[in-house]
Structure 1
Amino acid sequence: MARWKELPAGLDSRERRLVAELRRLKDHSGLSLAALAGKTGYSRSSWERYLNGKQPVPRAAVEELAQVCGADPTRLVVLHDVAAQARQQPPAAAAPDAAATAQAGVPVTPAVGAEPPGQEPAAGPVPGTVPLRTVPLRTVPLRTVPLRAFLAGIAAAVVVAFGAGLLTGGAWADDGPGAEDSGTSGYRRGVAYDCDIRRENAGLRAGHSTSREILLDTNSTGFDVVEVQCLLREHGFDPKTTDGLYGQDTKEAATRFQSARGLVADGIVGPKTWAELRR
């Protein structure tokens, strides 16, 4: 897998967390940017901008990425909403005004030269000092209450996600050796998928599945089948389609491939056939 570029230094920490999780999910799926574009409503260049922190990721793109990678979108949507809220907040002021500080429960120090409540003000400022204008409590913007309520709701959602095991990596608990995708999430019948053939440390890949053991035979469907069809074509045994349906043409191509590699020529793709396809 190609090394990711460094994210922009000025990227907010919450945005950085979201992009890092999306990168991890994309890498876990084994999909290239081109393959990802073919399975979602977003172009390859759009995914390049989103995953390199050049442009905020739309909420719908987060949900589609989770869907095609077979992951629960709840955790990613929570991270997206937190990052989106952070983008809408104005830069923090150098110091809070007196009213906001008082509402937060912090005692307000009287302005220099100000008289205690209930007493008449002095005739003039204390010599050598500059009186500060105090701000009445009634001037506190009422919009701070909805903002607090919103942030409290976000915090509650994060707590729920933790409780469900979503923020502790539960969605990717099968990252160890032998872990495989189901190969059906986001698959659409009747679509001829492109083959993005490349060679990596784990062997030959076509960008649709990381499977190496799943059994495939007549009437199997999904991205595992697309992967097999692409690899058969790459090895010179054309199945005549890359639509993800294990039909008679695919079975015959697999049988010829198995015979050429000295395998049991039954047309059923299993671990040994996968191993030869990945070579």
Structure 2
Amino acid sequence: MSRWKELPAELSPQVRQLVVRLRRLKDHSGLSVRQLAAKTGYSAKSWERYLGGRSLPPREAVEAMARIGGDDPTRLLALHEVAAEAWGARRATPERPQRLRLAMVAGAVALVVAIATSVVLIVRFTDGSSGEERAAPPPKPPSASRSKRTYDCRVERSADGRWYAGNSRTRDAILAYGQAGPEVAEAQCLLRRAGFPTGEIDGIYGPLTQGAVKRLQQRDGLVVDGIIGPHTWKALRG
């Protein structure tokens, strides 16, 4: 069974979902990268980039992979269209994080200058007064409180013989690092039931959840990629 390298952390969930599906189709076909290149007309190095998440495959390559893997090309091309939009948006705004950091630094500098000026003025106005009239230090800005949601785990075996925790009944949603929501909470509950705790059931796909998924995949002989797809859901549902 193929042991894929972990995908780049900066990949969007849409691109990650497409690459995971392509990897599974390649595994299902039993072809090597060279054989895949011979059948599709795209070089082995190109497929290594596509399957490694370093480059977005063209529409024709995705359609060829669907035919080889016996998948529905319409559904796979729909995934490719969504992934292409996410990929284009990421490439079109590569400087936004840097501009945001510069704006934050400039704002912090302005705040420091304003506070320093206020302190100087207070000292001047209170110079020569009694010790009881010393100026109070400037108030600290209030810290932003971030509410964190938690989910319940009501794990029960349903009439269909599968385990459900009461947060979602999905069996094929693609979940990856950085995502959040009730589907992630459902997976966290089922991972805990399987003996792979993720810490707090907060519905956030963080490093603890990813590590638990990898351990479950390793135990059940699945592709150890830390991504929850239909095969991992099947292992979780039991």
What is the TM-score with the length of structure 2 in the denominator? 0.37
Higher helix fraction (1 or 2): 2
Q: Which protein has greater RCO, CA pairs closer than 8 Å, 6+ apart?
A: 2
